[in-house]
Amino acid sequence: MKLYRLFNKKVFHIQPDLERIKNALSEIGNPHETFHSILISGTNGKGSTAVYLESLLRHHGLKTGLFISPHVLEENERWQINRKNIENDKLDRYIFEIQDLIKKYNLTYFEASALLAFRYFSEENVDTAVLEVGLGGRWDATNVVYPEVSVITNVSLDHTHILGDSLTQIAREKLGIARKDRPLVIGTDQMEIISQAVMKGIKEIYHYPIGFTYQIRNGSMEYIFRNRKIKDIRTSVPGDRQLSNAATAITAFLIYAEKKGIEIDENKIKKSILESFIPGRMQIVKEEPLMIVDGAHNLEAIMKTFEEIKRLYPDRKILTLFSGMKDKDLRNIISTIKAGSEDLIITRIPVSRSITEETISEFKGLVFVPDIEEALNRILEKADENTVILITGSLYLAGEVLKKLR
């Protein structure tokens, strides 16, 4: 059994409120209060930051829980212990145990996923759980915990119909995960977040480039925090963007380690970052022709993806296969992709929020191929040694393509 099957078309249903999840948790003994947690929000990079942070904790001897979304290849990815997906039989058992609570409190899919995570992590006695916020922060189901450290990667305009149509409004929602008496790490210099964090009265704020800083040259990062300097930090992912996420994760780890008396090993830090694998993020899936799958899902992320590919492969033309959600800023996203691509094919993801041919009918001259496999074959036919095939727009698209290639 998979959890999403209980929800049919309501997987993306959102109801901003914490009472439902709190009531459900109280019936099973408030398992989220039995382990330490670190909570991560932000518009882009929060999943990668969560994966790096989990790896840092695990490499320093802690038993970790990791709750992330969305999944790329299989739903089991959402709930991990020591970086291993929950086993099918355990997932079936937990779904059976919580399904009456799902019905009683009319939980959304994400609330049910969080409820399952809290129970799983509690029963498995994890030392620390790294929790990725699903949407926003203030009303997210993960925000029932009292995190030891809170992290906000950045803010940009996304989910504006829910979170607000300005960076200040979105930052306010994401700052809902911060606690006045607990450290907050901000992975950017955006004043929309920093100024509001100060006004909120948070006592410990560490933000780039004041609380921590880093320099990136030729795919290697030199990281500085207080009197500690760590050189030659690298990721397994091409491009510089993930090193920025890694720096944010390292800062949160160092603060947490200091609070908990964990002995820090700089070699383990470098090993933790280098060995972390993040599917669907600038992932090279074929060498000939070169094919990159990247789950960038909003305008800012897509712009950075194109910047990185053009920097890494300046003499190659980009062929793009794109799909995404119909509630995104499609006008600017498609305009950006067309400007950066030699050719563009648009397809449909098998989820209810996906763009359709009707969604993009106002844009002239676009090629829409509804079947992903056919769209993939069409773009492969156009490729040669002087091209990069880029598959982007959503982690759901990344997952569908990776499954077909696998």
CA distance 315 to 319: 13
pLDDT, position 209: 95
pLDDT at 69: 92
> What pTM was estimated for this model as a whole?
0.94
391 neighbors 294 (Cβ within 8 angstroms): yes
Mean pLDDT, all residues of the chain:
93
pLDDT digits (tens, 9 = 90+) for 137-173: 899 999 999 999 999 999 986 565 666 668 888 899 9
Q: Is the pLDDT of residue 107 over 60?
A: yes
256 and 336 assigned to the same domain = no
Both structure tokens of 127: 């030392």
- Distance from first CA to last CA of the chain, Å, rounded? 22
Measure the CA–CA gap between 239 and 220, rounded to whole angstroms. 10
Answer whether 174's CB lies under 8 Å from 42's CB: yes
Give the residue-averaged pLDDT of 87-92. Answer: 96
Asked whether residue 104 falls in the same domain as residue 123, the answer is: yes
Contact, 130 vs 57, CB < 8 A?
A: yes
Q: Tell me the pLDDT tens digit for each residue of 182-210.
A: 999 999 999 999 999 999 999 999 999 99
Instruction: Please tell me whether residues 261 and 294 are part of one structural domain.
Output: no
Question: Does an H or E element contain 225, and which?
Answer: strand 220-225
Q: Which residues does residue 318 pair with via DSSP β-bridges, in sequence order?
A: 388
Please report the DSSP string for 110-130 in residue order.
HHHHHHHHHHHHHHTT-SEEE
pLDDT for residue 303 is more than 70: yes
Strand 149-152 to 184-186 pairing: parallel
Do 230 and 320 share a domain, yes or no?
A: no
Q: 1-11: per-residue pLDDT in tens? A: 588 777 754 55
Indicate whether 199 and 319 sit together in one domain.
no
Q: For residues 286 and 385, what is the distance between their CA atoms, to the nearest angstrom?
A: 12
The pLDDT assigned to 23 comes to 97
Q: Identify the helix (H) or strand (E) that includes residue 400.
A: helix 395-405
Nearest CA among 148, 122, 137 for reference residue 53: 148
Number of folded domains in the chain? 2
The answer to whether residues 271 and 396 belong to one domain is no
Task: Give the mean model confidence (pLDDT) for residues 64-69.
Answer: 97
pLDDT at 51 over 70: yes
**Together in a domain, 167 and 264:** yes
Share of the chain above pLDDT 90, in %: 82
Mark which of 236, 255, 275 sits at the end of a domain.
275
Q: Residue 4 has what pLDDT?
A: 74
Q: What is the CATH number of the domain that holds 212?
A: 3.40.1190.10
Query: Is the distance from CB of 233 to CB of 270 less than 8 angstroms?
Result: yes
Say if residue 223 is in the same domain as residue 96: yes
State the pLDDT at residue 262: 97
CA–CA dist 231, 210 (Å, integer): 18
* 39 — pLDDT class (breaks 50, 70, 90): very high
Q: What angle do CA 55, 44, 149 make, to 5 degrees?
A: 50
Burial 65-96 (b: 16+ CB within 10 A, else e): bbbbbbbbeebbbbbbbeeebbeeebbeebbe
Q: Do 177 and 39 meet the contact criterion of CB atoms below 8 Å apart?
A: yes
Last residue of a domain, one of 255, 275, 295: 275
Interatomic CA distance for residues 59 and 347, integer angstroms: 40
Q: Which residues contact 142 (CB under 8 A, 6 or more apart)?
A: 39, 67, 114, 131, 132, 133, 134, 177
- For residues 92-100, give the mean pLDDT: 95
Q: What is the DSSP string of 296-312?
A: --SHHHHHHHHHHHHHH
CA-based nearest residue to 80, from 104, 98, 111, 53: 53
Task: For residue 316, name the pLDDT band (cuts at 50, 70, 90).
Answer: very high
Residue pointed to by tokens 């992320």: 301
Are 139 and 215 found together in one domain?
yes
Question: Do 108 and 174 lie in a common domain?
Answer: yes
Q: Are residues 162 and 213 in the same domain?
A: yes
List, in sequence order, every residue forming a beta bridge with 286; answer none if it has no partner.
Answer: 291
- Which of 67-71, 94-98, 181-185, 236-240 bottoms out in mean pLDDT, i.e. has the lowest? 236-240
pLDDT tops 70 at residue 14: no
d(CA 37, CA 32): 9
For residue 331, what is the domain's CATH number?
3.90.190.20
Strand partners, 321: 345, 391
Q: Are 154 and 45 in contact (CB under 8 A)?
A: yes
* Domain end marker among 217, 242, 275: 275
Name the 3-class secondary structure at 187: coil
pLDDT of residue 9: 46
For the record, the structure tokens of 157 come out as 């305009």
Same domain, 155 and 302: no
* Phi, psi values for residue 208, rounded to 5°: -70, 135
Short-list 97, 94, 208, CA closest to 151: 208
- Residue 375 belongs to domain spanning: 283-405
